[in-house]
Structure 1
Amino acid sequence: MTTTFSDDGSKAIQQSIDVLERASRTNPREIDVVYEIERTCSFITDHGFRKVALQFPDELLIDAAAIISKLEKNTNVKLFILGDTSYGSCCVDEVAAEHLEADSIVHYGRACLSPSTRLPVMYVFGQKPVDVHQCAASFRALYPDKCTHVIILCDVIYLYVLEKLRQLLHPEYENLVVSVICCDKNVTPDPCRTDGFPGESDVDHHSALGSCSHAYNQPNHQVIHKFGRHFTINANSDLKDYSMFYIGQEGLTLTNFMMTWNQCSFCSFNPVKGVGRQETLNVNRALMKRYYMIERAKDAQVVGILVGTLGVADYLSTIDHLKRIIKQAGKKSYTFVMGKLNAAKLANFLEVDIYVLVACPENSLLDSSEFYRPVITPYEMEVACNQAREWTGEYITDFRDLLPGACCHVEFPDETFNGEETDVSLITGGLRATHLLKSEWQNKASGTSLIHRNDALAVTQSHSAASFLATRSWQGLEQNLGETPVSKAVEGRKGIAIAYEEEGTS
């Protein structure tokens, strides 16, 4: 595709733009169905929205013009397209929408379903093609025992096939459980809500899964809520007694499920390749890698808190929680907001020993092998700082589960805690403190250079970013305040970078 730009009569510049091969335009006759135009129009008009932001991932931007054209014909509102998201495209970008003063968001494509709090949100997942009969055949081949307890999960873009798949398999598999994805329209956001799940009036079962909801009313069943998905299991059984069957490609969603439910066996069906397989990810090896990160965090003295989301509910409470436990562990912490992460950005802060990323569950498990310093999750940071939380192999990717009042919260030990206050580093072999006594960290001043810890460690030197900066040979540009002469503003160059006016033509 070729585009032409001109600048005040100057020579036109022709630029070729490569279109991603994976981005294929949806058939115009299928736009209304795939992108649920009628339901979207109802969502906008029924609630009287005037400015609506349409958030697209990169692979769906090719259909954005056709979608906005249809919506404009049926609604008398102002529509904006959000393309380049502040963080992961799976999260609702409330910050970009608020910059446009939008009063609601329509999120298209893959979604992590993390709850948001500031703006009403509607999800449109789309409908990627999948052969349901081939998927059912793969399921039968992977689970020949008809009495097997299996829970079916899926990527949100394949949500629409779950009901048909259930109809094909349920007559043969009586212990089959189909998960339900519930979308919170969040028309009246409740900032006080901490469990992350909508009330009955807010749940939008817009797919054909209404017939599956009868399971929630059955006696002797317990309902599991996780990652925007609901499913029921027998009250007398444990989740580890079930196998998981996932519909979707290998990616962050599947990794998140396997790490969270690491005691369950997983099989998957890839709709693109049309094949099913037993997942062979060595979860134990992955967990050991994460435990190594915890040991690195225990040795760290300066911790950088990376803000990886500005839209997921309770992210500010999580940052405050991390600051508190890091301080109680006798460490320094600094908060960084830098958008999408890369190795070059983080390498600018050599004084930081380790980073902890506050992001949605799917973006928390960042592969930091290329980074100068490790990047860990809030759960790993808490295991490193909170002596009362033991490493059991259980893994938590949702930072909201760690907050006070949540299902996985563990109080920090007080002065009466009977555990050891020091231990030995498994990396350096040195003696280190595990936490400060409550009276010590509360009375600790920010400028204190020496802190009395305990009899085992005697006196410990406190490290800060400021002291580290003082040891650098180059500390940045010198300001020379009052020494630099004041000069008048001068006229700069005119034109474009390829040919400024004063340079003439060649």
Structure 2
Amino acid sequence: MTTTFSDDGSKVIQRSTDVLETENRTSSREIDVVYETERTCSFISDHGFKKVALQFPDELLIDASAIISKLEKNTNAKLFILGDTSYGSCCVDEVAAEHLEADSIIHYGRACLSPSIRLPVMYVFGQKPVDVYQCAASFRALYPDKYTHVIILCDVIYSYVLEELRQLLHPEYEHLVDSVICSDRNGTTDPCRTDGFHSESVDPGSTLGSCSHACNQPSHQVISKFGRRFTICANSDVKDYSMFYIGQESLTLTNFMMTWNQCSFCSFDPVKGVGRQETLNVNRALMKRYYMIERAKDAQVVGILVGTLGVADYLSTIDHLKWIVKQAGKKSYTFVMGKLNAAKLANFLEVDIYVLVACPENSLLDSSEFYRPVITPYEMEVACNRAREWTGEYITDFRDLLPGSCCHVEFPDETFNGEETDVSLITGGLRATHLPKSEWQNKASSTSLIHRNDALAVTQSHSAASFLATRSWQGLEQKRGETPVSKAVEGRKGIAIAYEEEGTS
């Protein structure tokens, strides 16, 4: 489709936009199965919801009208369509739903399954086609040893085939572990929820989500991570298993490989119908992340980017980051700007590095096109907390870093008198790694030269506040009585390539 418009009648600008073809629509006879309309209607009716928000990713908006018409015929609820989320489409957009005064959300398509806290949520993943027999054949080719310990994971849009795949493979493989999809709304390992209301415990006699029937261990341990749950033998560890992933290359797969980086990964692509050994060099990826940690250690001004408003404990994580950044003698500023791009972040050149608080799948942002690096909360904590060492372990879920969580590391007590220093691996110069409390509390905000210690000699204090003070525009904060009143003046005319007052050359 092509649209035309002109600025002053002298020039006509053409813009082409892509239009989804009708063959990409889900057929009417498949709508009920793919989008589980019967279960959705029961979810709305059984709980008496009056206003329901339907959240769609961009690729499923083409089916939105057909779905909402079917739901309206079978329920008395008022339905809204959320088509453009403020952040990642994998996260539940509770803020947009609350603006509509919705009392529940139905999330369609791929989901990161991060826990939400405000509204009841039902997930409808959809059912992308998979050749289960071809998937099983690829599994046998990739794992010819029948005694191999393997955990089966999948993208949520292919989760409906797990039970059938289990029936094909379990008789042959004694140490096969298959996972179940859990929304994990309450942060516990027991509930396996898909609608936010009822929990479904796995039957101890069932093989779903656990070792195969040949496992004779008297006890097991339950692993619950990223909305997936599986059970392994008590005397084993996850790193003793290989991972078989059903799905295409995605942020989900990258997140799994970074988190379980000591496991070998194989995958089956349902679109291409082929399986392969994943060749992503995890060590190189980890070293790239370690480089980001070194950049964070050198930084003096840290920008905390709010990349979610719906994931549980995001506010606690922001407060935790502010605290550790302050403990390390750095300054921090918080930014809420929705979807990130290079132009937005380029407005704040005084910031040395950004830390993104987002769901696990959106945390590993490729910031190569940005003017400043964007890192994860885990990387910022490694840079600021002297008690946390870099071991190759990687944490993408920011909730695991909070006090009381499984991976929390206490900040060390101040048992030293002066400022600790080390050598930057990037610049080769000395830098402060931790400031005494008395110094970071009274640290000057001016740009004057100050003497810090004999090791660092004379250095210049860096303050984003002083940089901001030199700008003509300083935000939308009201300063009644402080800003002088001035008359309106005529601005520039014309287009950016040649304003009228600039003339022509």
TM range (shorter): 0.7 to 0.9
- Comparing 338-347 with 438-447, greater Cα deviation is found at 438-447
- Structure 1 distance, partners of 2:340, 2:494, is 34
The equivalent residue for 1:413 is 412
Match of 1:155 in 2: 155
**Residue 191 to residue 323, structure 1, CA distance change in 2 (3 Å):** farther
Superimposed CA distance per residue, residues 330-356 of structure 1 (whole angstroms, 9 cap, x where no aligned partner): 001001111100011111111000000
**1:218/1:49 Cα in 2 relative to 1: closer, same or farther (>3 Å)?**
farther
Give the deviation of 1:220 after TM superposition: 1.7
What's 1:363 paired with? 362
Q: Deviations over 1:50-108 (max 9, x none)?
A: 10000000000000001000000010010000001000000000011011110100000
For residues 383-406 of structure 1, give each alpha carbon's deviation from its aligned partner in whole angstroms, at most 9, with x where no partner exists: 001111000000000000000000
Specify whether residues 419 and 34 from structure 1 end up closer, same or farther in structure 2 by C-alpha distance, changes over 3 A only: farther
Secondary structure, counterpart of 2:79 in structure 1: strand
Q: Is the 8 A contact 1:114 1:227 kept in 2?
A: yes
SS of 2:223's equivalent?
A: strand
Tell whether the 8 Å contact from 2:176 to 2:212 is kept in structure 1 after alignment.
no
- Post-superposition Cα deviations, 1:347-383, rounded to whole Å, max 9, x if no partner, equal 1111000000000000000000000100000000000
Question: Structure 2 stretches of 5 or more lacking a match?
Answer: none
Q: Deviations over 1:413-467 (max 9, x none)?
A: 1112699921000011111111123454456587897888666447754321122
Q: Is the 2:177–2:230 Cα contact (8 Å) retained in structure 1?
A: yes
- The 1:404–1:481 alpha-carbon spacing in structure 2 relative to 1, beyond 3 Å, is closer
CA distance 1:21–1:319, change in 2 (3 Å): farther
Structure 1 residue aligned with 2:288: 289
Identity of aligned residues (%): 91
What is the TM-score of this pair, normalised by structure 2?
0.85
CA distance in 2, matches of 1:375, 1:236: 39
What's the CA shift for 1:161? Answer: 0.1
- Equivalent residues of 1:306, 1:356 under 8 A apart: yes
**1:144-195, CA deviations, whole angstroms, 9 ceiling, x for partnerless residues?**
0000000000000000000000000000001000011013578999999999
Task: Note if contact 2:45-2:75 (Cα within 8 Å) is conserved in structure 1.
Answer: yes
Written as runs of structure 1 = structure 2, the 5 A alignment for 1:306-455 is 306-416=305-415, 421-442=420-441
Q: What secondary structure sits across from 2:101 in the alignment?
A: coil
SS of 1:244's partner is strand
Displacement after TM superposition at 1:494 (Å) = 19
Instruction: Tell me, yes or no, if the aligned pair for 2:445 and 2:462 is still in contact at 8 Å.
Output: no
Residues 211 and 232, structure 2, Cα contact 8 Å, conserved in 1: no
Q: Which moved more, 1:450-459 or 1:277-286?
A: 450-459
Bigger shift: 140-149 or 203-212? 203-212
Name which of structure 1's ranges 45-54 and 175-184 shifts more when overlaid on structure 2.
175-184
Matched ranges for 1:77-226 at <5 A: 77-183=77-183, 219-226=218-225
- Following superposition, the deviation at residue 23 of structure 1 comes to 8.0
Distance 2:315 2:196 in 1: 15
The answer on whether the counterparts of 1:326 and 1:333 sit within 8 Å (CA) in structure 2 is yes
Report deviation, 1:469: 3.8
Kept in 2, the 8 Å contact 1:160–1:207? The answer is no
Alignment: residue pair count: 505
Structure 1 297/14 Cα, relative in aligned 2: closer, same or farther at 3 Å? closer
Instruction: Assess if the C-alpha contact under 8 Å between 2:115 and 2:185 holds in 1.
Output: no
Report which stretch shifted further, 433-442 or 333-342: 433-442
**How far apart in 2 are the matches of 1:30 and 1:191?**
30
Provide the alpha-carbon RMSD of the alignment: 6.0
Q: Residues of 1 paired with 2:263 and 2:352: CA distance?
A: 34
Answer yes or no: is the 8 Å Cα contact 1:115–1:197 preserved in 2.
Answer: no
Q: How much does 1:496 deviate?
A: 18
Deviates more, 1:233-242 or 1:455-464: 455-464
Contact 1:436 1:453 in 2 (8 A): no
Contact 2:306 2:358 in 1 (8 A): yes
Distance 1:13 1:345, change over 3 A: closer
Q: Which runs of 5+ in 1 are unaligned?
A: none
